Amino acid sequence: QAQLVESGGGSVQAGGPLRLSCTAPEYPYDNMYMAWFRQAPGKEREGVAVMNIGIGTSTYADSVKGRFTISQDYAKKSVYLQMNSLKPEDTAMYYCAAAQYGSRSFGPLSKRSYSYWGQGTQVTVSS
């Protein structure tokens, strides 16, 4: 299967927006959970947001609630992360991840729940 592909990262001033995209053209998209993670230097990878593609429900980390929104486009087999009111502490490498229905789950925002990963896209927020 093709790997996940992220795009949309870049440098932005604090308070500004960015929109990240993730596409999985050869995965069984409608039978998967798709998620966004991030990892800053010296810190472990943390879950940001996840969506159950089949039913459209989503879960967010407390640190981004009210600022970030995950969405999908079924026809394009893509998920998006709209990031608003960005802060310097949001600076990290952002990764797209996926898990098949029925796989072992350690919680929706745990990296251990996901088997498929993209290469990452860098987000840098300056003061």
Cα–chain-centroid distance for residue 40? 14
What integer pLDDT is reported at residue 2 of this predicted model?
Answer: 52
Residue 30's pLDDT is: 79
pLDDT of residue 31: 85
* Region class of 90: left (phi > 0), else alpha (psi between -120 and 50), else beta: alpha
Query: How many CA atoms, within 13 angstroms, populate the side-chain half-sphere of residue 73?
Result: 10
How far apart CA 116 and CA 42 sit, in angstroms, is: 23
Rounded to the nearest angstrom, the gap between the alpha carbon of residue 15 and the centroid of all alpha carbons in its chain is 20
Task: Profile the chain (127 residues) by mean pLDDT over runs of 10 residues.
Answer: 85 98 81 95 96 93 98 92 98 96 92 94 97
Q: Rounded to the nearest 5°, which phi and psi values hold at 47?
A: -75, 140
Which is nearest to 71 in space by CA: 53, 95, 91, 48? Answer: 53
Q: What is the pLDDT of residue 101?
A: 86
